Amino acid sequence: MSAYLDFNYPLQLKLQNKYCLVIGGGKVAVRKVGKLLAAGARVTVIATRVIPALQALAQQQRLNLCLRPYLPSDLKGAFLVVAATDDAAVNARVAQDAEPLQLLVNVVDAPELGNFNVPGTYDLGQLTFTVATGGNPLLTRLLLQDLQADYGPDLAAFAAFLSSQRGQVQRLLPTPADRKEFWCRVLTKKLLQQVKTGQLAAAEKNIRAAVEQLKK
């Protein structure tokens, strides 16, 4: 196993209003752009040609589109860069140019050339499941399918419900230690199993009852 895989550090980035650059105009670029836009990033795409989906996003003014070859000066001001062309030499050059600028760089066809990779994800309301398999896309897809089968809309609803209860608990239990003790006691595997087996209402009732007890 390479050092790149041995020393990965998982994290989530806040990209709201961050300037992100995608080099390339094909299907992979579309996927990368979609995720960046969903995260609130300001996206520029640079490519000699693009597929209709990217052209449509540009026409909707959801991204800035530059129909020309990549230039090193394109990296100026970027926070994050994705090299997603079908030319390995161009992708490698993007990574090389970005390194002295200390930018976040993902190279789709050679992740070892960049300094971050994007795991497979399954978004479920406020929840995000991520799967990284060391570069095995089929295994990633199978594991994500398992997650989708095990965790569905009820879990998303339960997570939103818990968020609505957190404010009350914070008001009733002002210290972090007390709040931690409360949630460790109330939010159990048994409760999660109720949600997974279609007993969402019962699980929410148990949480409400525990919160009401704090008021007494």
pLDDT tens by residue, 164-187? 999 999 999 999 999 999 999 999
pLDDT for residue 2: 42
pLDDT of the residue at 132: 86
Q: What percent of the chain has pLDDT over 90?
A: 81
Q: What is the pLDDT of residues 25-69, one digit of tens each?
A: 999 999 999 999 999 999 999 999 999 999 999 999 999 999 999
- How far, in Å, CA of 99 to CA of 185, rounded? 48
Which residues are CB-neighbours of 101 under 8 A, at least 6 positions away? 75
CATH superfamily for 3-118 is NAD(P)-binding Rossmann-like Domain (3.40.50.720)
In this prediction, residue 34 carries a pLDDT of 95
Q: Percentage of the chain surpassing pLDDT 70?
A: 97
- pTM to 2 decimal places: 0.79
- 185-209 mean pLDDT: 94
Rounded CA gap, 14 and 41, in Å? 9
**E strand or H helix at 33, and its extent?**
helix 27-38
Provide the pairing of β-strand 19-23 with 42-47. parallel
Q: What is the pLDDT of residues 100-157, one digit of tens each?
A: 999 999 999 898 899 998 888 899 988 999 998 877 889 999 999 999 998 999 999 9
Residues belonging to the chain = 216
**Predicted local confidence at residue 118, as pLDDT:** 87
Model confidence at 1: pLDDT above 50: no
